[in-house]
Structure formats: C-alpha cells, structure tokens
Amino acid sequence: MAAAAALEAVAPTGALWGLVHDFVMGQQEGPADQVAADVKSGSYTVLQVVEALGSSLENPEPRTRARGIQLLSQVLLQCQSLLLEKEVVHLILFYENRLKDHHLVIPSVLQGLRALSLCVALPPGLAVSVLKAIFQEVHVQSLLQVDRHTVYSIITNFMQTREEELKGLGADFTFGFIQVMDGEKDPRNLLVAFRIVHDLISRDYSLGPFVEELFEVTSCYFPIDFTPPPNDPHGIQREDLILSLRAVLASTPQFAEFLLPLLIEKVDSEILSAKLDSLQTLNACCAVYGQKELKDFLPSLWASIRREVFQTASERVEADGLAALHSLTACLSRSVLRADAEDLLDSFLSNILQDCRHHLCEPDMKLVWPSAKLLQAAAGASARACDRITSNVLPLLLEQFHKHGQSNQRRTILEMILGFLKLHQKWSYEDKDERPLNGFKDQLCSLVFMALTDPSTQLQLVGIRTFAVLGAQPDLLSSGDLELAVGHLYRLSFLEEDSQSWVAALEASGALAALYPIAFSSHLVPKLAEELRRGELDLSRGDEPTKRSRHLRCLQALSAISTHPNIVKETLPLLLQHLCRMNKGTVVAETSEVLAVCQSLQQVAEKCQRDPESCWYFHQTAVPCLLALAVQASMPEKEHSVLRKVLLEDEVLAALVSVIGTATTHLSPDLAAQSVAHIVPLFLDGNISFLPENSFPCRFQPFQDGSSGQSRLVALLMAFVCSLPRNVEIPQLNQLMRELVELSCCPSCPFSSTAAAKCFAGLLNKLPAGQQVDEFLQLAVDKVEAGLSPGPCRSQAFTLLLWVTKALVLRYHPLSSCLTDRLTGLLSDPELGPAAADGFSLLMSDCTDVLTRTGHAEVRLMFRQRFFTDNVPALVQGFHAASQDVKPNYLKGLSHVLNRLPKPVLLPELPTLLSLLLEALSCSDCVVQLSTLSCLQPLLLEAPQVMSLHVDTLVTKFLNLSSSPSMAVRIAALRCMHALTRLPTPVLLPYKPQVIRALAKPLDDKKRLVRKEAVSARGEWFLLGSPGS
Amino acid sequence: MVGGGGMGGGLLENANPLIYERSGERPVTAGEEDEQVPDSIDAREIFDLIRSINDPEHPLTLEELNVVEQVRVQVSDPESTVAVAFTPTIPHCSMATLIGLSIKVKLLRSLPSVSRWMCTLHQELMPRSMQDTAPGCVRLDSTGVNKQLADKERVAAALENTHLLEVVTSACQPAPEPGFFAPSHTQGSWPCFLNH
C-alpha cells in the first residue's frame, strides 16, 4: 500500500522533473502550461515545483536562472489563487531578493511579483515591502516596454487591494512612482501611468512635497503629440491619451499654479491642436478650481481667449474658447465669498465688458459678433453674470439701435439683444420685482415694434423672434403690449409680398397663442373671422389673385393660432362653417381653395393631438361634419353643381383622408370605439343618423355600385378605420372585409378600388394572428388569383396583391414570402412587369395614409433589411434568367429595394451586388439610371475602399450618363462624379486629366442646375492631389 | 477645415474689417427645372462662382468683405465674355494678387472651355467710398496686379508655385457655414450664439 502510494507520488514528480528540464534546458515553451495545469489539478504543489527547479534557480549561468524563474512565475500567474499565506511570504522573500540579481533575470522576477500582487493571501506589510524593493532595486525606464508595463500592473494591483497599506508609505510612494514613470515613452504604458497618477490624486494619497514633481512628470507630455502608426494593433488613439492626460492635469487645484501658465503658453502657440487641447483642459480645470487658483491668471487667460475668439479662422477654436470662458465665469460665480474679499467675478466681467463693449457699437464690423459671443458666453454662466452683463450691455444696445438708422445695422443690434434675452430664460427668478428685464420692458417692446414696422424683412424677422422670446418670460408683458403685438402679427401675416415674415409671424403667433389664449381669442380670432367672411364675398365675386392669396393667409393664420384648446373651440367651427358654405354653393370654390381649408384643418388636427381633450373635441366636431359634406356631395342629383363634385376629386379626398387620419390616431380606445360604432354602419348599412345634416335625396350605399361617386368615399372610411388603435374592435368586420375585397377588384373606378385595397390591407395588418387573418388572407389570395388571369381587372388584382403583400411584409407574416414571390414572378409579365417593378418602391417606402406607425399599424423595425435578405437573391436570379426585354424590370425593382435600405446594411452586401448595379447603369431606362445613381452616390461616400476597385467602370459610366438627355440623370451622374473624389486619391490620380477634360463639357450644359453640379464636381477633381487641399 | 492665414498669434493686416451681407442661395425657378428651356449664363451665375471664395486672411468670403459684387460682374452669353472687377478690403492690400489669382483660377476651372469664353479680371482700387475710410492714403497703382493677371503665362507660372497653389486651393474650398463670424442673411439659418 505504502509503496504504491510512494510510487504514485514519485511518478508525477518524475514527470515534473522532466517537464522542468524541457523548459529550462530544452528551451521549450509548452511544459510551462502543462506544469501550471498539473498544479491547478492538484497533481503536485507549488513547493514541489520549487524543489524541482532547485538547481536551475541557483545555476551560475544567469540565462538558466532567468529561465527557471520564468517557469515559476508563469505557474504562479495561473495558480496564484491556490497559494497559502506561508507560501506567499516565502515566495515574496525569494523574489524580492532576486530583484538584486542579473538584469537578464529581472523580467521574470517582475512577472512573478505581478502574480503575487494578485494574491488574496498576501499578508499585510508585504505590498509595501515589494514596492520599496522595486523602487530601490529596479531602474524601470531601462527595461523593455512589456516589463515596464508589468511594473505598472504591480502598482495598479496593489493600489486596488492594499490602498491603506500604501498610504502608510506617505509621500514616499508618490516619489517612488514619479521615479518609475519618469521618461516613459510608450503610449500603452502612458495610459496606465496616467491612470495611476489620477488615482493617486483622486484617492487622496499623500503627495507631500512632490506636487510639482508629479506635475512635471505628467505635464511634460502636454499637449499630446502622437500619431498612431498605420495598422497599429494596439488601437490607441491620440484622443485616448489626450483625455487620460487631461483627467490627470485637471484633477486637482494643487496643480493650478503650474498648469495655468502652461495652458496660457500653449493657447498662444501656433499649433491648432495645442490651442484646442489647452482650451479644453482649461475648461475641465474650471470644474475643480476656485477663485484662489484662478486669481493671478485671470488677466492673461482672458487676453488669450479674447485673442483666439477675435482672430481665429477655426470654428472649433472659437467654440472651445467660448466654452472655456463660460466655465471660467461659472467657476468664479460658484465661489462663496467672505464679506471682506474682493469679488473676482465682478472685476473679471468688468474686463470683458471693457474689451468687448465698444465693438458692439460698430454693427458693420467683423468684431461685433465675436464680442457679442464672448459676452454671451460669460453671461450664460450664472444668473449673477447674466445680470451684470445684461444690465451693462442692454442699455448700450438699446441706445445703439436708435443711433444706427440702417435696417441691416439695426438687425445686427437687435439680434444681439435677442441673444442676451434668450440667456435670461435659463434663470428663474422667484421674486417678480427682482427680474432684471422688468426695467427694460417698455424700451424693448417699443424697439421690437419699430423692427416689426421696418420695411426690411430681415429686421422684421428678428423683431418677431425677439417678441416671441419676450413673450416667453413669465409675467413680463402687459395686456396692452400683447394687444399691440397681436395687431402687428395680424398685419405681418397678411403682408402682400412673398416674404419670410409672414411665416415667422405665424410661427410666433402659434407660440404666443399657447401662452396668452385670451389675448389672441379676443383680438385676433374676431379679425380673422371677419377676414374669412370678406374673403368668401370676394371669392364669390370672381377671381382676383391678391384676394385669393389673402384668403389663403387667413386660413393659415387660423390654423397657426390653434395651439390652445380654447382657441381651437373658436377656430375649428369657423373653418368647418367655411367649408360648408363652399359646399352649399354660396361660395365659388376651386379645388385649391378646398385643399387650403383641408390643410388648415389638418394643421389644427396635428396641434390638437397633444391634448386628449382637444383631440376628442376635434374628432367629434370635424369628422361627422366632413363625412356629412362628402356624403352630400356624393348624392346623385339632377342639377349637378360643379362645386359639389370638387369634394369628390382625388386630391381633395386625399386631403380629407389625412385630416380624418390625423384626427383619429391619437384618440383613446374607448372614445375611438364610440366613433367606430357610428362610422362603420354608415358605410355598410347607410345609417346616416349621426351626421349633423342628414336629409339626403337617396340612400348612401358606397359598396353597392363601384362606379358611383359614393364608392370613392371608401377612402374616408379607410382614413378612419386604418388609424384606429389596434385594440379597438371593429363592428361587422367580416362583412366589411368582404365588401372591401369585392370593391378592390371592381374595374370601373381605380380610385375606389385602390382605396378599398389599401383599407383591406390596413385592417389585415392590425389583426392579431389567428384563424381570422388566415381566412381574410385566403379571401384576398383567391380574388387576386382570379383577377390576375387574363381579363378586365388584372391591374386591380395586382394593386390588391401589392397592398396585401405590404401589409404582411411589415408585420413579418409567414405568408408574406409567398406573396412577394408572386410579385417577383410578375416582373416578367409583359403587361404588369413595369408596375410590379414600381411596386417594390411602394413595398419599401413609408406610406402616409395607411400602414403607418402613427396609425398604429404593426410595422416591424427591420422589415426593410428582412425584405432585402429574403428577396434580393431571387431578384438577382430572376434578372439573370429573364429575357432581354424584361430585364430592366428586375433592375428597377432591385434598385428600388437597395435605395431604401439603410446604408450600413447594404455595405456588406455590396461586393456581390455591385456588378449588377454597374450593369443597371447601362440600362436605358431613365428611372433605373436615376435610382441606381442615387443608390451609388452614398456608397461612394461611405464605402470608398470597396468602390475604388471599380473606379474604371464608374468613371466611364458616370461620364457617359453626364450627357444623358434627362436633366435629372445628368445632375445625378455629376453628383456621383463629385462623390468619386472621396475615393483614395492615389486611385483617382491616373484619371484626373481625363475627367477634368470630360467635365468641361457639362460646364457648357444648357441647364444651369447641371452646370452648377459640373462646376462643383470639376472643382473637386482639380483639388485632388494638389497642395493645400 | 478653413484654410488661409490668420492663424497663430500674429496680427492681421486688417483685424476688424467691415462685413457685408451674404446673398442667399439662388432660388430655383420653374424655367430652370424645365428640360427644354436653355438657361443663359448670367452675372448672378458667375457671381455665385466667385462669391464663396475665401479671403486668404479672414475666414470670410470675398462677398462678405465686398471684394466682389454682383453689379461689378459683366457677362455676355452671346459674346461669351466675362469681366469681373474686384477691390481688396484695404487699398494697399498685399493680398491683391493672391485674391486676383484665386478668382482667375476659379473662373478658369468653372467656365465652359476657355477658348469659347474670354474672361477678364480687373482690380479696382477705390470704387467705393474707400476714401472716407482711409483718408490720406496714397493711391497705389493697380496696373501691376492687372498686368500680372492678364498675362496667361504668368498665371500659369504662378500656379506652378506650390505655395501659391496651396493658398489658391484653400481659398477655393467650401466656405465655413454662414453665421460663424458674421450674421448671415441666408434663409432659415441664423447665427448660433452658444452651443452649450
């Protein structure tokens, strides 16, 4: 027994000796892992490994010793968690002692210490002893990068687990580390070293007398100048180093006295990156500094920032300079003052004011804007700074406004005022009397009113925006100011010329009406109502363009101010009554007039969506009224008045569709259910009882006769039922779906049949998966198959197929693939092929009326990607198999799919598709050319490497297309020529002379828009490879 | 990136120049979108080519500094001639030749084949109320600059010079967004004051 056990013990030990020998003497690497694995599995102990190593650890040849220690260290790295405290103590003693050994041995010793530094069983006191030994015995900077990294790792490990012990070392630890990192050059090591310094500071290690040394040893890298080598495997970017160094430098106010002079010096340097880095570092410092640190440097800092913002040609320097000034001011504002201390903020702001103020008086000169921006950057930092600056600057600007008579000068001044006013919105003042703007209110208002009456549009625009900002200040304006302003806005809304002012006036009216509904409903709504009445009279008298445009403006103004529920209650009835009077024939109505009313209604509906109560009010008031008007219009009559038919036109119905849709999508389910109980019976049973006016000469039966005007109103049904929340149950659904399918294949009126197909698809998309969906689907498929066979309603059946496919594709329905296959098959149909190709565009695009996310349709996020992966192979295959005359259909379908695909999805697929796309460029169909070009252009910008493989073909084809007979193709081809310049320059240079010559031709194009593209493309090609670009 | 001088601590020749409005994008007319109607080259089209050239000193365009103006661009499409007059911001501006060269290069690159189009460039010293802003300044002779610009070989030779080409190239790069330094007067875009 005992002998067997002894044998067992000897056998592995014997194997261990062999492994050790192979590693140390045989210079093989494999045994190390083997030994580690055996130790881990418990075959032998660390002690046994040491024993086995015995002689090699004491070998006189340093290489052999190094090798022996290396094996031990590698084993320890993998097995440190198994070590007992006693073993750790011995090992540490051994390794510390070895630090004195030959330099060849040191790297392996450090590895071992790193393993031990991870050891949980390390008894207290040893961490300090190891570090002391390293600081004393090892000259770190003469080691290789990897070994230096090991030293940093040991320190990092100890800092993570033995913080208290290390702190016991006091400032000696800091000093030791300073010596370790002094002279470090490798970016990988620097990242670790910076991290350690940051921790030293942020975890409050004692820096003792070594603050300046620690600053020196890190700040010597500032500003970071590092360009990663090409194909750098370590992936360290310049930005990584910049940020980690910045974290160190800006981590403590103790560095301030050394850092601030350095930053000032670097801001003043010639190098852009140094300026930016310094300004950003200053910005970061302000988060931890206080008045004390900044005090002595404020004049120089201000001088540097001012100079940069005044002089720079770089937008980034300007932005960073302003940001730094903002933080400086914020920092000064934050500090709590003793009663007797000097307020640095005050003197600092005085300096800024002194240097910038006078520039504000020269609104034509370049420095006016940099000065205003500096003042605003400082004013934006705190309420105190804001008060101080605005109280100084506002009176000056008000005075300057009156001093300068020219509109453009006044505009600049008012725009500066606007900037300062906007800053006031950031601060809220508890006490009404303390609000600093109160004192200027009257002057500001009179100035704004001057601007509003100025002939210059630009000045008017700033005036409008300024008034909107004043209005947004709580309790600032008096009712008198508002009445005046409303008068001005009314006047501006009706300005004759086609200026931007009325658009801005409408926007401002909308914003202000939400805040001051009473002022608007008492002063503006009556005026607009009167205007609308007058407009009706004018319209009925005859066609006068200016009066018509006035009428349109009135409608737009009514919708613009409908931003408050109380105002909607006044404006909506006005608009609806207006539409009713048009329909009755008392007003001469053209399509465009009716459309304008619909657009206004649409805008009101959009504004009502935010507030559930307004939303229901709108729905309940507008939808029955619009349906009644439409039903009325659809009634067959003896004397067919022209006006009535206007409501049945495609465009008008489409506009009504979007009004009804918008009024429905945001309804709560229970309110929507109330509404659906009226509207579905109206269409299915002709139940007109809920309509406000319901005495019609005959019954309303939209599904009975596909050719009548009544069937066109199915579009309105579609607008409503397809916008309902998904959980609203639709009554008589079965009957409705059957009627819709019937109507969709009825050949007499394409508008009605398309509306029915869309409605069917919209409903199908929302139904929960189950038997019902499958039944409806079968119904549609049967109808489609029957319809597609030669006959009168092939195109109707195709439309139904298309919409049903879309409904299923959007929700990832399992049967969608059968339908898309059917659709792809139709590409080779001589009659329906082109329509099928265009159908792909519809499948991939977002609809506006049905199957929308806002209309609660089930639209899966990645449906385009999925459609792409499922169908593109079939399209490509179909293309290759197709006969020559139908090939363009496949290309067109494909390019529609690719065009709508998110570019990141397309890029990986590009290599396989590119050849097909290039072929599509030679296709004679303009639409294919155009959509291929618009597909290739972003690819050129985003995947220049892949595209550069085909540069030869691309150049030739683009140049060919730049003389296409179609202007749109020429423009797109030239844009692609422009985008080609993004390819790597060396690839392009051989083509440069040829391209520049060829692009001279479109410079002479007869169309200006083409010439413009040619100029910019050719300009870019000239810049290729030239110095300074 | 914005090119040109003006970086570093050095002082500009004219640090606080007068700024003029930028004209907005040319609105596209229905005629321009009609395939059939030919659009002739007019003064605005030529002006659009040169107005966005950057001043070598400032991050401002020649238009903003009023170095070029649409009224001082003469174009005749039937005769295929273009004449552009330009005025440096200050009469003795050392940059005059460079600005002229930049305009010349831009026109050469953008006009339909040079053999068909004749373009002449002319530096004017004080066409504006310049005397008021620079009283007592010596009238400098502009013929030197004009001679240089008219001389094809000298223009070609100048463009062989790498440094000159560099300045011209950076001048011809797209200008910074309006509203960066000066108020822009283009539609819809406004100077942003603070982007914090």
The 10s digit of each residue's pLDDT in A882-913 is 888 888 888 888 888 888 888 788 877 877 88
Task: Please determine, for residue A940, whether its predicted confidence score (pLDDT) is greater than 80.
Answer: yes
Task: Please determine, for residue B190, whether its predicted confidence score (pLDDT) is greater than 50.
Answer: no
The token pair at A979 is 């985008």
Distant-in-sequence, close-in-space partners of A434: CB < 8 Å, separation ≥ 6? none
- Bond into A223 cis (ω within 30): yes
The full 3-state SS of A790-857, as one line of letters, equals: CCCCHHHHHHHHHHHHHHHHHCCCCCHHHHHHHHHHHCCCCCCHHHHHHHHHHHHCCCCCCCCCCCCC
Task: Please determine, for residue B193, whether its predicted confidence score (pLDDT) is greater than 70.
Answer: no
Helix (H, G, I), strand (E, B) or coil at A61: coil
User: What is the secondary structure of A907-924 as a DSSP string?
Assistant: HHHHHHHHHHHHHHHT-S
Q: How confident is the model at residue A842 (pLDDT cuts 50, 70, 90)?
A: very high
The reply to whether A566 touches chain B by the CB within 8 Å rule is no
d(C-alpha A541, C-alpha A546), whole Å: 13
Q: How confident is the model at residue A1011 (pLDDT cuts 50, 70, 90)?
A: very high
Query: Which of A366, A364, A373 has the alpha carbon at shortest distance from A393?
Result: A373
The reply to whether A751 touches chain B by the CB within 8 Å rule is no
CA distances from B92 to A90, A644, B54, B97 (A): 84, 74, 19, 11
**Nearest-CA residue of chain B relative to A375?**
B193
d(C-alpha A209, C-alpha A228), whole Å: 36
pLDDT in tens, A732-765: 999 999 999 999 988 888 899 999 999 999 999 9
Write down the pLDDT at residue A339: 63
DSSP code at position A404: -
ipTM (interface predicted TM): 0.80
Q: Which one has a higher pLDDT value, A819 or B95?
A: A819
Task: Please determine, for residue A56, whether its predicted confidence score (pLDDT) is greater than 90.
Answer: no
pLDDT in tens, A129-181: 999 999 999 999 999 999 999 999 999 999 999 999 999 989 999 999 999 99
Residues of A within 8 A of B77 (CB-CB) are: none
Distance from CA of B157 to the nearest CA of A (A): 15
- Give the CB-side neighbour count of residue A176, counting CA atoms within 13 A: 23
Q: What is the mean pLDDT of residues A350-365?
A: 92
Residues of B within 8 A of A415 (CB-CB) are: 183, 190-191
pLDDT in tens, A271-329: 889 999 999 999 999 999 988 899 899 999 999 999 999 987 788 999 999 999 999 99
Q: Is A415 exposed, middle or buried (0-12, 13-18, 19+ CB in 10 A)?
A: buried
d(C-alpha A744, C-alpha A436), whole Å: 67
- Radius of gyration of chain A, Cα coordinates, nearest whole angstrom: 40
pTM over 0.80: no
CA distances from A305 to A245, A301, A355, B192 (A): 22, 6, 12, 19
Alpha helices in A562-713 (DSSP H): 565-584, 591-608, 612-634, 642-646, 650-665, 669-685, 709-712
Residues of chain A with pLDDT > 90: what percent? 57
Residues of B within 8 A of A422 (CB-CB) are: 193
Assess contact for A744 and A786: CB atoms under 8 A. no
**Nearest-CA residue of chain A relative to B49?**
A1015
d(C-alpha A903, C-alpha B45), whole Å: 35
User: What is the secondary structure of A252-316 as a DSSP string?
Assistant: -GGGHHHHHHHHHHHHTSS-HHHHHHHHHHHHHHTTT--HHHHGGGHHHHHHHHHHHHHH-S-HH
- For A914, list phi and psi in degrees, rounded to 5: -60, -40
The reply to whether B170 touches chain A by the CB within 8 Å rule is yes
Place of tokens 């109103």: A713
d(C-alpha A404, C-alpha A839), whole Å: 61
Write down the pLDDT at residue B5: 36
**Nearest-CA residue of chain A relative to B193?**
A373
- B60 and A366 in contact by Cβ < 8 A? yes
Going A131 to A135 to A139 to A144, the CA torsion angle's sign is positive
- For A28, list phi and psi in degrees, rounded to 5: -95, 145
The token pair at A529 is 């109502």
Q: Which one has a higher pLDDT value, A582 or A483?
A: A483
d(C-alpha A367, C-alpha A312), whole Å: 11
**In this structure, which amino acid lies at residue A496?**
E
DSSP code at position B111: S
Assess contact for A975 and A957: CB atoms under 8 A. no
Q: How confident is the model at residue B138 (pLDDT cuts 50, 70, 90)?
A: very low
B 31-70 near A (Cβ less than 8 A): 32-33, 35, 38-39, 41, 45, 48-49, 58-60
The token pair at B38 is 């030919």
The H or E element containing residue B118 is: strand B118-123
Query: Which of A185, A194, A175 has the alpha carbon at shortest distance from A251?
Result: A194
Assess contact for A637 and A698: CB atoms under 8 A. no
A 258-297 near B (Cβ less than 8 A): 268-270, 272
Assess contact for A722 and A857: CB atoms under 8 A. yes
Q: What is the mean pLDDT of residues B145-165?
A: 73
Write down the pLDDT at residue B179: 38
Distance from CA of A755 to the nearest CA of B (A): 33
Q: How confident is the model at residue A91 (pLDDT cuts 50, 70, 90)?
A: very high
Distance from CA of B196 to the nearest CA of A (A): 7
d(C-alpha A636, C-alpha A700), whole Å: 10
The token pair at A131 is 């570090």
Q: What is the mean pLDDT of residues A840-869?
A: 91
Residues of B within 8 A of A1027 (CB-CB) are: 162-163, 165-166, 169
pLDDT in tens, A779-795: 999 999 999 888 888 99
CA distances from A585 to A528, A540, A581, A625, A692 (A): 22, 9, 7, 16, 18
Place of tokens 């991870």: A118
Write down the pLDDT at residue B191: 30
- B35 and A1007 in contact by Cβ < 8 A? yes
Write down the pLDDT at residue A938: 80
- What are the counts of helices (DSSP H) followed by strands (DSSP E) for chain B? 7, 3
The reply to whether B113 touches chain A by the CB within 8 Å rule is yes
Residues of B within 8 A of A499 (CB-CB) are: none
d(C-alpha B60, C-alpha A586), whole Å: 59
Place of tokens 């299923």: A808
d(C-alpha A944, C-alpha A707), whole Å: 55
Residues of B within 8 A of A371 (CB-CB) are: none
Helix (H, G, I), strand (E, B) or coil at A319: helix
Q: Packing angle between helix A46-58 and helix A2-24, nearest 10 degrees? A: 40
Q: How confident is the model at residue A690 (pLDDT cuts 50, 70, 90)?
A: confident
Write down the pLDDT at residue A539: 67
d(C-alpha A818, C-alpha B14), whole Å: 73
Write down the pLDDT at residue A575: 93
Distance from CA of B152 to the nearest CA of A (A): 19
d(C-alpha A448, C-alpha A487), whole Å: 13
Write down the pLDDT at residue A10: 47
Nearest to A1015 among B17, B18, B49 (CB): B49
pLDDT in tens, B47-57: 998 888 888 77
d(C-alpha A553, C-alpha A489), whole Å: 12
The H or E element containing residue B76 is: strand B73-76
Write down the pLDDT at residue B137: 36
Assess contact for A756 and A744: CB atoms under 8 A. yes
The reply to whether B196 touches chain A by the CB within 8 Å rule is yes
Place of tokens 């273009």: B82
Task: Please determine, for residue A799, whether its predicted confidence score (pLDDT) is greater than 60.
Answer: yes
Task: Please determine, for residue A3, whether its predicted confidence score (pLDDT) is greater than 60.
Answer: no
Of the residues B189, B194, B195, the best mutation for testing chain A's interface (the one with the most A CB atoms within 10 Å of its CB) is B194
DSSP code at position A585: T
Task: Please determine, for residue A572, whether its predicted confidence score (pLDDT) is greater than 50.
Answer: yes
Q: What is the mean pLDDT of residues A360-366?
A: 88
- A1008 and B6 in contact by Cβ < 8 A? no
The token pair at A560 is 């613009």
Q: What is the mean pLDDT of residues A224-251?
A: 87
Write down the pLDDT at residue A69: 92
Going A72 to A77 to A81 to A85, the CA torsion angle's sign is positive
Mean pLDDT of chain A: 88
In degrees, to the nearest 5, what angle opens at C-alpha A630 toward C-alphas A629 and A633?
Answer: 90
Helix (H, G, I), strand (E, B) or coil at A508: helix
Of A108-117, A490-499, B103-112, minimum mean pLDDT range: A490-499
Going A426 to A430 to A432 to A434, the CA torsion angle's sign is negative
Write down the pLDDT at residue B160: 73
Q: List the end-to-end C-alpha distance of chain A, in Å, as a whole number.
A: 87
Task: Please determine, for residue A586, whether its predicted confidence score (pLDDT) is greater than 90.
Answer: no
The token pair at B78 is 């039937």
What's the full length of chain B, in residues? 196
Write down the pLDDT at residue A708: 72
The reply to whether B82 touches chain A by the CB within 8 Å rule is no
Of A496-505, A851-860, A950-959, minimum mean pLDDT range: A496-505
